[in-house]
Amino acid sequence: VGRVTSASVLRSDGSTDYFGSWQDATEAARRDLVELEYDYGPHLLPVQSQPARGMWRYSGLLPLTSEQIRYPVVVGGTPLVNSVRLQATSGMAHLLVKDETRGPTGSMKDRATALVLEHGLRNGADTVTCASSGNIATSLAVGAAACGIRAVVFVPASVGLAKLTLMLLSKATVFKVTEGYEAAFTLSNRAASHYGWLNRNTGINPMTIEAKKTVGLEIWEQLGHQVPDVVVVPVGDGPTLCGVAKAFRELVACGAATRQPRLIGVQAAGCQPLKVAWETGQLPRATATNTIADGIAVAAPVSAPQVLRDIRQSGGAFVSVTDAEMLEAIRTLAENAGLVAEPAGAAGYAGVGAAVRSGLLDSGERTVVLLTGTGLKIPNALQPVTTAREISASVEDLARELGTDA
């Protein structure tokens, strides 16, 4: 089991504050991301022969004492898809897709939910809260139901019907906040302080980034303890990318790897503050978002300093993709690899093309792209290009439709 040796907060002015414990750091962080360090070494890595156990396989690098895991939902251990057809279509001979749609609610958020609730179960939490454009609240509602913990979630009034249905089905208390996501985020945090609820909000609870880092650790292990050249990550708020960066940084610190992959962050063209900040050195003022990719439409990302640092340190870059490119990526993933993504989930794959065209990615590089969320929850947004034909039940009619002899 890992011992947390340092908890720090990188402030937006570039300074770093250190704290005695991650609880103290979280208390003082407000909206900034708390980062933990451990007593790194090979003793924190999983032993190859031990059974998989999903994300808990990497408990050595998580802030957990050695008690048995109580969280009752299986999370992590998702496939690293090696699709020859997708490689041919993309022209990327060594492209792999980390398929996070296979989580319990079909998104990578399920990892963060699991670690937050594991702490909640150990500490007797009775209520947990978050703000969310959809996937986080769905994940938290379902996970909390499995734990017998009450979830109070705050969503924008525009939240998708299917995701909302799942939250309500799991008996979460759901508030649609008239003023939108940013206001919901502030209200959720204030409610957590006011009522003493467990707070799952990213940038408040350091467990979210710690949990998300397990996706990077899995990639390394699934590649046979190798580091890919590039990892392509959809970026909204940022912690997913920070989690991947931290995974490989810690593998180096543990002596298990000698280098980190280049990280390419992908934003939606209709909401790209981090790409702008990376290009101009200045985070733009938050404006209205204009994209179908609600999962990465974050106008005021909480972890901007860390994301920009991690992209820079990895020698990486940002690209942006249009809604049309994301829809095209959804179709390409489905047609060629049987992978069903939502727009934000497909943004990574769309970004691969954008990065190649911009000269930021070479088609021969061993590239892992994160597919972060399933399309199953938003069927109406998927817009297939073909249609179903209605026929009567005769082989003759079928032959006519197919243009063959009966």
Sheet containing strand 230-234, edge to edge, reads 80-81, 95-99, 367-371, 230-234, 262-268, 317-321
Q: Which one, 170 or 272, has the nearer CB to its own copies?
A: 170
Output the smallest distance, CB 91 to its own copies, in A: 17
Q: Which one, 222 or 363, has the nearer CB to its own copies?
A: 222
Site for its own copies (CB under 8 A): which residue of 17, 31, 37, 79? 79
Q: Which two tokens stand for residue 100?
A: 């996070």
**Of residues 84-113, which lie at the interface with its own copies (CB under 8 A)?**
84-85, 99, 102, 104-106
What SS3 state is found at 269? coil
395 binds its own copies (CB under 8 A): yes
Output the smallest distance, CB 143 to its own copies, in A: 6
Output the smallest distance, CB 79 to its own copies, in A: 4
- Distance, in Å, from the CA atom of 367 to the CA atom of 16, rounded to the nearest integer, reads 32
What SS3 state is found at 174? strand
**What's the one-letter identity of residue 169?**
L
Q: Which two tokens stand for residue 275?
A: 């790409």
Site for its own copies (CB under 8 A): which residue of 67, 179, 279, 362? 179
Q: Which one, 245 or 350, has the nearer CB to its own copies?
A: 350
* Contact present, 220 and 9 (Cβ < 8 Å): no
What angle do helix axes 239-253 and 207-222 make, rounded to 10 degrees? 60
Output the smallest distance, CB 173 to its own copies, in A: 8
CA atoms within 13 A on the CB side of 165: 5
Strand 80-81 versus strand 95-99 pairing type: antiparallel
382 binds its own copies (CB under 8 A): yes
74 binds its own copies (CB under 8 A): yes
Output the smallest distance, CB 376 to its own copies, in A: 4
Site for its own copies (CB under 8 A): which residue of 121, 146, 223, 360? 146
17 binds its own copies (CB under 8 A): no
- Distance, in Å, from the CA atom of 49 to the CA atom of 212, rounded to the nearest integer, reads 23
Site for its own copies (CB under 8 A): which residue of 41, 196, 338, 364? 338
Output the smallest distance, CB 2 to its own copies, in A: 25
